[in-house]
């Protein structure tokens, strides 16, 4: 059974019908504004890809994908996507998306290895986006600019919710705070990565933590990242490594930080080879995606995923992601949640 976080004296501010309307309004408004802000066109995304192509995102490298045989293709194995981090870059090339423009899509995934709680579900829904960039854009200032523009969309969406439901007052700060994972470690050296995230996000309200995946001075990474999409080893500001990061906001209902987006400047050839060597995955160089990148067939890009259910959950002041999406939960969690006012869909 997953772990249920029990907020104090929780009571939903919206009934079921209001919640469903709020979800629809948020999703429509957010994607329209994201598309306008970053100049992204919508594309259709796959639910599954062929195994062995290197296209599927393997997240931190340990999660199992959901697989099934394809009868009409000699039982070739398909696997449900974890995310579309690599697929999107192939689409930028296929659609010949020029510099300064990009794509976004609705990504749906099944992550069977998730530890289920208020923030984690078997079902994942994200806006996955990818933007073609130049070599000159591969720097920390460009990364921060994109983060600020995405955060501006979050703020506009929060105000939309307030206009619909005045009882849900805006609480996010006007600016997002930037900090590298190494500097965060130095601030709170005795805390775990999650505890450090909670401390810094409670202080500032909204934070972008950079350098996710890079080894820190304590010999550990703040969090794991696969070696073949985000660039987490190229030096950024102050000599720190990493051109990627996570957007976190403070959740006043759960009284902890919530990650809304993982994103970053993608690997170029040099960073790909370096990161594959670091984690002992050099055999991936022969896979289709990696060959395309190494043969200069893919554009430089920045991209990420933004959690749809987490955005809705946070802005509608819900205590559990299961109040936003239909998924599968342990019956004992469903019963326990209902006792404290959390009604899972």
CATH code, domain with 312: 3.30.930.10
In this predicted structure, what is the pLDDT of residue 222? 96
| Total-model pTM | 0.94
User: In the predicted model, is pLDDT for residue 232 greater than 80?
Assistant: yes
Per this entry, what is the length of the chain?
345
Count of domains for the chain: 1
CA angle at 162 for the pair 158 and 166, rounded to the nearest 5°: 155
**pLDDT for the residue numbered 203:** 98
Give the range of the structural domain holding residue 115, as residue numbers without chain letter: 16-339
Task: Tell me what the mean pLDDT of segment 171-196 comes to.
Answer: 97
How high is the pLDDT of residue 8? 86
Average pLDDT (229-256) is 92
pLDDT, mean of residues 91-113: 94
Mean pLDDT of the chain: 94
Active site residues: 57, 111, 126, 246, 259, 262
- pLDDT at residue number 82: 82
Nearest in space to 260 (alpha carbons), one of 335, 209, 202: 209
Q: Is residue 8 part of a domain?
A: no
At residue 320, does pLDDT exceed 80?
yes
Give dist(CA 232, CA 211) in Å, integer: 6
The pair of three-digit structure tokens given for residue 230, joined into one six-digit string: 């985000």
Phi and psi, residue 261, nearest 5°: -150, 140
First and final C-alpha spacing in the chain:
18
Q: What is the pLDDT of residues 26-83, one digit of tens each?
A: 999 999 999 999 999 999 999 998 988 888 876 555 678 889 999 999 999 999 988 7
For the record, the structure tokens of 85 come out as 């981090």
Would you say residue 189 lies in a domain? yes
Q: Give domain status of residue 167, yes or no.
A: yes
Say what the pLDDT of residue 3 is: 87
Would you say residue 5 lies in a domain? Answer: no
* pLDDT number for residue 46: 92
What tokens appear for 36 in the block? 């306008």
Q: Which residue has the tokens 């609480």?
A: 171
**Residue at 2 is within a domain:** no
Q: For residues 258 and 307, is the Cβ–Cβ distance under 8 A?
A: no
The answer to whether position 4 is within a domain reads: no
Cα angle, residue 243 at apex, residues 242 and 245 outer, rounded to 5°: 85
233 domain-assigned: yes
What CA–CA distance (Å, rounded) separates 203 from 32? 31
Question: Is 11 within the bounds of a domain?
Answer: no
């Amino acid at each position: 059974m997953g772990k249920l976080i029990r907020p104090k004296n929780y009571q939903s501010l919206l009934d079921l019908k209001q919640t469903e309307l709020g979800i629809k309004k948020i999703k429509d408004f957010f994607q329209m504004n994201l598309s306008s802000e970053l100049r992204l066109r919508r594309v259709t995304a796959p639910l599954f890809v062929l195994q062995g192509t290197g296209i599927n995102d393997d997240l931190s490298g340990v999660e199992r994908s959901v697989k099934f045989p394809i009868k009409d293709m000699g039982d070739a194995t398909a696997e449900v996507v974890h995310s579309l981090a690599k697929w999107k870059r192939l689409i930028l090339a296929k659609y010949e998306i020029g510099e300064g423009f990009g794509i976004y899509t609705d990504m749906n995934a099944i992550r069977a290895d998730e530890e289920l709680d208020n923030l984690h579900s078997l079902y994942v829904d994200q806006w996955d986006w990818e933007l073609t960039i130049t070599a000159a854009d591969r720097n920390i200032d460009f990364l921060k600019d994109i983060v600020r523009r995405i955060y501006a969309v979050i703020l506009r969406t929060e105000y939309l919710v307030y206009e619909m439901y005045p009882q849900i007052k805006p609480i996010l700060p006007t600016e997002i705070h930037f900090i590298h994972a190494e500097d965060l470690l130095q601030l709170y050296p005795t805390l775990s990565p999650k505890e450090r995230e909670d401390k810094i996000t409670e202080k500032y309200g909204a934070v972008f933590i950079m350098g996710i995946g890079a080894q820190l001075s304590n010999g550990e990474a703040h969090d794991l990242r696969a070696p073949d999409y985000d660039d987490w080893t190229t030096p950024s500001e102050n000599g720190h490594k990493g051109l990627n990061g996570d957007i976190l906001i403070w959740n006043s209902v759960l009284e902890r930080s919530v990650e809304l987006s993982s994103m970053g400047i993608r690997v170029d050839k040099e960073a790909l080879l370096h990161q594959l060597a670091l984690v002992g995955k050099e055999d991936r160089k022969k896979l289709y995606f990696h060959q395309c990148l190494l043969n200069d067939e893919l554009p430089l890009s920045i991209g990420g995923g933004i959690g749809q259910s987490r955005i809705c959950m946070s802005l509608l002041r819900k205590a559990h992601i299961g109040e936003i999406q239909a998924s599968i939960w342990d019956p004992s969690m469903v019963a326990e949640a209902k006792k404290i006012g959390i009604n899972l869909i």
